[in-house]
A = this chain, B = another copy of it.
């Protein structure tokens, strides 16, 4: 259970690194952008992020929960366990940055898929 944490004993040299250690995870930006639309269930996220394994998805969701960017509510309605993930206020506060990164990427990196 140690891989889900943002930081262990190693402190970050600067706050950007701390932020990067969150959004630098492979699926985190995508997760955030999906949850920015509306809360999603685990299965829905899995479908939306085809290519991301259950394990990694859960791992990165845990990372986001641990750092207060998203929250999880489990409701055992009639038939099934509904496990829903949604952005917290803190998570929402990160969205402008994520979206700025998206815009920047669109403008500057579009043609760099196959270098060398």
Q: A7-B114, A112-B7 are in contact. Are A97 and B102 (CB under 8 A)?
A: no
Nearest chain-B residue to A10 (Cβ)? B113
A93 close to chain B: CB less than 8 A: yes
Question: When the two chains form their complex, are residues B17 and A106 in contact, meaning their CB atoms are under 8 A apart?
Answer: no
How many monomers of this chain does the complex have?
2
- Selected interface stretch from A21-29, A38-46, A53-61, A79-87: A21-29
| Chain A residues with a Cβ closer than 8 Å to the other chain, count | 49
| Nearest-CB residue, chain B, relative to A32 | B16
Across the interface, which residues of B come within 8 angstroms of A51, CB to CB? 13
The chain B residue with its CB closest to the CB of A98 is B16
Contact with B along A101-116 (1 / 0, CB 8 A): 1111110111011111
Given contacts A13-B51, A14-B33, 12 further A-B contacts (CB under 8 A): A1-B116, A7-B112, A15-B102, A15-B103, A17-B105, A18-B112, A19-B104, A20-B101, A67-B112, A93-B104, A97-B100, A97-B104
